[in-house]
Amino acid sequence: MQVPARSGVMAFAAALALFASSCRTPTDPQRYRLAHSGDHWDVVNGDRVVDDLLPRYPEFFAVILDPSRRDEASLRHIRDDLERAPTDRRNFDALNAVAVAYFEINHRAEFNRGVGLEYLSRSMQAAKLLAVPWRAYSITEAPALREAILDFFEDAGSGEKLASAPTAPRLVEIVASLESKESNPGRRARIQSLSAELRARYARELPPER
C-alpha cells in the first residue's frame, strides 16, 4: 500500500514542478530585458537582470549602484560590447547594463532636482548614458540589436520607471533622429510611430515646433 502512495506523491510533485516551469517566463538574454518591469529595473517577471549582469560589469556597477559614489562609471567596456560585430550576447548585456544605469542615475538626478550641482551632474551622466545606444544604432547592422535599442528608447520614453516621466520628453528628439539612420521600412515606420506617440504624449513639455 505504501508504494502507490509514494508513487502518487512523486507524480504530484513532478506535475507541480512542470506547472511551475510552464508559468516561469523564459529568459532570452539576447533582447531588451527591462520592458514592463513596473517602477523598478532589477527583477522583471522573475528575470533577475541586475544579478545576471553584475559578474560581467563589476566595476561599472560598483559605481552605478552605490549612491555615495560621485565619480562617473567608465563607459568604454560597455560601449565596446554594445558596438561589437558580429553580434552576440555581449551586445545585449551591454544594452541592458546601460538601461539599468540610465534608470538608476536618472532617478537619483530627479531625487536631487533643485539641489544645485548634484542634480546637474547626475542629469549629465544620464544624458551620456542615452548617447551610448544612440551611437550604437548607427554602427550596428544587426536587426535584432536595433530592435532591442528601440525597445529601450520606448521604455525610457514611457515614463513607467520610477522618476522617468519628468525626463521622458528628452527621448522625442533622440528617437526622431534615428529615422535618418534607418533604411529598413518596418523599422522606419516604427521609429516614426514611436516619435509621433512621444511627441503627442509630452506635447506640453516640448518647445513649440518652428
Mean pLDDT within 22-26: 41
The overall average pLDDT reported for the chain is 84
- Residue 1 pLDDT greater than 60, yes or no: no
Is the model more confident about 38 or about 86? 86
- Residue 155 pLDDT greater than 90, yes or no: yes
Q: Is residue 24 part of a domain?
A: no
**Closest C-alpha to 72, from 133, 115, 126, 130:** 126
Is the model more confident about 42 or about 125? 125
Which neighbouring-strand residues pair with 47?
44
Mean pLDDT within 178-197: 96
- Residue 60 pLDDT greater than 50, yes or no: yes
- Which residues are within 8 A (CB) of 5 and not within 5 positions of it... i.e. 6 or more apart? none
Q: Is residue 31 part of a domain?
A: no
Q: Report the distance separating Cα 166 and Cα 162, nearest Å.
A: 10
Host domain of residue 88: 37-205
Is the model more confident about 73 or about 114? 73
Q: Is residue 60 part of a domain?
A: yes
User: How much is the pLDDT for 42?
Assistant: 75
- Residue 30 pLDDT greater than 80, yes or no: yes
Q: Is residue 6 part of a domain?
A: no
**Closest C-alpha to 139, from 90, 87, 96, 190:** 87
Mean pLDDT within 67-88: 94
Calculate what percentage of the chain has a pLDDT beyond 70.
83
∠ CA(121), CA(122), CA(127), 5° rounding? Answer: 100
User: How much is the pLDDT for 149?
Assistant: 98
∠ CA(154), CA(168), CA(130), 5° rounding? Answer: 70
Q: Is residue 20 part of a domain?
A: no
Q: Is residue 57 part of a domain?
A: yes
- Residue 139 pLDDT greater than 50, yes or no: yes
Q: Report the distance separating Cα 56 and Cα 67, nearest Å.
A: 20
DSSP type of residue 161: S
Report in angstroms the alpha-carbon separations of 174 from 86, 167, 169.
Answer: 25, 12, 10
Length of the chain: 210
In tens, the pLDDT along 159-186 reads 899 889 898 998 999 999 999 999 999 9
Q: Is residue 50 part of a domain?
A: yes
Residue 16's φ and ψ, nearest 5 degrees, are -65, -40
Residue 47's φ and ψ, nearest 5 degrees, are -85, 105
Q: Is residue 17 part of a domain?
A: no
User: How much is the pLDDT for 18?
Assistant: 38
pTM of the complete model: 0.83
The structural domain count of the chain equals 1
83, 137 Cβ separation under 8 angstroms: no
In tens, the pLDDT along 80-120 reads 999 999 999 999 999 999 999 999 999 988 877 766 677 78
Q: Report the distance separating Cα 117 and Cα 98, nearest Å.
A: 23
